[in-house]
Amino acid sequence: MVGINDSVSTKHTGHVRLGDHLCLPFASDLEQREVVSAYIADGLIRGERVLYYSDKTAPGAIDAWLDPRGVDGALAMARGQLEVRPAADDHFDPDALVDGIRHAVRDARAAGFQGLRLTGEMSWALRSLPDTVRLHEYESGVASTITGSDDLAAICQYDERLFDKADFTGLVARHPGVVHVDPLHDDRRLRIVPTFSPRGLRICGTIDELTAGAFAEALAHAAQWPERIIVIDLAELLFIDVAGIRALVRAAEALAPDRTLQVRHLAPTLRNVLRIVGWDTTPGLTIGETGVPAP
């Protein structure tokens, strides 16, 4: 992901609340779907109205996104709780768009909803604007509308594969924070976060007798993904005991023959442990980014 200003805070999808103005910088369609579907589903469950400004995504696709989360998107649309609108036309007017958001907030309240959740695919700007100056004006208008609000939340979706690097970084910085997918597990000892580029798990903290079970469950969850290679990033791992290593080995052994559990940033001492006990030759397990078993 393109570097983001350190002053920009991060928030997981499940913690988004009315009053938040966040950016979703993504480089994977799957990441976009996971974050946005969770954000929409949470709003619908909380009794908020959701307004989706779509540039590329059809309403039927959003319904399909929500189905695995147990939410009937088509029913929510029929009831007027979920609405999908075109992101913008060729006559971009930042003030008119911001006024439209303010009207939508009032309409949501008048209809008895708890507030309004807004999200939009910002790729329309590349088609409608000669530069990003007016887009910055729009983001400033949205920010001023949300500041101090208790009835509006917004997530602006920026596909970093499409925007110029400098423009992208500046636009992300227009937001007080960025939003990320919810962790699979998060307590004081261990946090396990799905990643999308590459597809896998980022492990932060300690894996011991108290957390090995959660680690094994996360590995089993990741094994259900269709990707041939699942990357386990241990760069932020503080400690792993034998039970944790055994969970890695068992997860690799359970994979189909054409699939791989690729462990990255494994400490040299742990590599030695794997070698000594012979687990480094486990089918389906590779150490490092080479895609071949460790020597």
Same domain? 95 vs 67: yes
Number of domains in the chain: 2
pLDDT for the residue 141: 85
- 200 and 160 share one domain: no
| 241 in the same domain as 155 | no
Cα–Cα distance, 241 to 273 (Å, whole number) = 10
**Cα separation, 49 vs 109, whole angstroms:** 9
* Pair 76, 155 in one domain: yes
- Same-domain status, 173 and 198: no
pLDDT band at 163 (very low <50, low <70, confident <90, very high): confident
Quote the pLDDT of residue 92.
66
Does residue 3 fall inside a structural domain?
Answer: no
Q: Where among 180, 195, 214 does a domain terminate?
A: 180
The range of the structural domain enclosing residue 47 comes to 9-180
Looking at the structure, tell me whether residues 165 and 60 fall in a common domain: yes
Q: Is residue 293 part of a domain?
A: no
Same domain, residue pair 125 and 254 = no
Q: Are residues 56 and 96 in the same domain?
A: yes
Mean pLDDT of 51-68: 92
Query: Could you please report the per-residue DSSP string of 215-239?
Result: HHHHHHHHHTS--SEEEEEEEEEEE
Q: What is the pTM of this model?
A: 0.85
Which spans in the chain are helix H?
Answer: 29-45, 59-66, 73-78, 94-110, 124-128, 133-146, 165-173, 212-223, 242-253, 268-277
What pLDDT score was predicted for residue 51? 96
| Cβ burial, residue 152 (10 Å; 0-12/13-18/19+) | buried
d(CA 127, CA 125): 5
pLDDT band with cut points at 50, 70 and 90 for residue 295: very low
- 57 and 157 housed in the same domain: yes
Q: How far is Cα 203 from Cα 194, in angstroms, rounded to an integer?
A: 9
* C-alpha closest to that of 57 among 85, 88, 19, 96: 85
Confidence of residue 255 (pLDDT cuts 50, 70, 90): very high
Length of the chain as a residue count: 295
Kindly state whether residues 173 and 199 are assigned to the same domain. no
Residue 4 lies inside a defined structural domain of this protein: no
- Tell me which of 180, 196, 211 is where a domain ends: 180
Summarize the confidence of residues 47-58 as an average pLDDT: 93
Does residue 90 surpass a pLDDT of 90? Answer: no
pLDDT one-digit tens code per residue, 195-254: 998 999 999 999 999 999 999 999 999 999 999 999 999 999 999 998 999 999 999 999
Domain end, chosen from 149, 180, 211, is at 180
